[in-house]
Chains A and B, each alone.
Chain A
Amino acid sequence: MRYESLLDAVGGTPLVGLPRLSPSPEVRLWAKLEDRNPTGSVKDRAAAYMVEAAEKDGLLHPGSVILEPTSGNTGISLALVARLRGYQLICVLPENTSAERRMLLEAYGASIVSSPAAGGSNEAVRVAKNLAAENPSWVMLYQYGNEANARAHYETTGPELLTDLPEITHFVAGLGTTGTLMGTGRFLSEHVPGVQIVAAEPRYGELVYGLRNLSEGFVPELYDESVLTSRFSVSSADALRRTRELLSDEGMFAGISSGCVLHAALGLAAKAQAAGQRADIAMIIADAGWKYLSTGAYAGTLAEAEARLEGQLWA
Chain B
Amino acid sequence: MAIEVRIPTILRSYTGGQKSVEGSGATLEELFADLDGRYEGLRERLIDDSGVRRFVNVYLNDEDVRFLGGLSTSVRDGDTVTVLPAVAGGAR
List chain A positions with a Cβ less than 8 A from chain B.
Answer: 43, 69-74, 97, 101, 119-122, 124-125, 143-144, 175-177, 199, 201-204, 206, 208-220, 225, 228-235, 257, 313-315
Contact = CB atoms under 8 A, between A and B. Distances in A.
Nearest to A264: B62
B85 A212 contact: yes
Contact of B89 (A175, A206, A213, A216): A175
Interface of B: 8-11, 45, 53-57, 59, 62-64, 66-67, 82, 84-92
Contacts, number: 118
Contact of B62 (A69, A72, A177, A234): A234
B75 to A, nearest CB: 16
A176 B55 CA distance: 15
A219 B63 contact: no
B91 A71 contact: yes
**Residue of A122, A143, A229, A231 with highest tally of chain B CB at under 10 A:** A231
B55 A215 contact: yes
B92 A43 contact: yes
8 contacts: A71-B91, A71-B92, A199-B64, A201-B89, A203-B82, A206-B9, A210-B9, A214-B10
A231 B84 CA distance: 14
A121 B85 contact: no
A229 B67 contact: yes
**Residue of B9, B66, B91 with highest tally of chain A CB at under 10 A:** B91
Contacts of B59: 232-233
A122 B92 CA distance: 12
Contact of B92 (A176, A203, A206, A232): A176
A119 to B, nearest CB: 8
Contacts of B55: 214-219
A217 B87 contact: yes
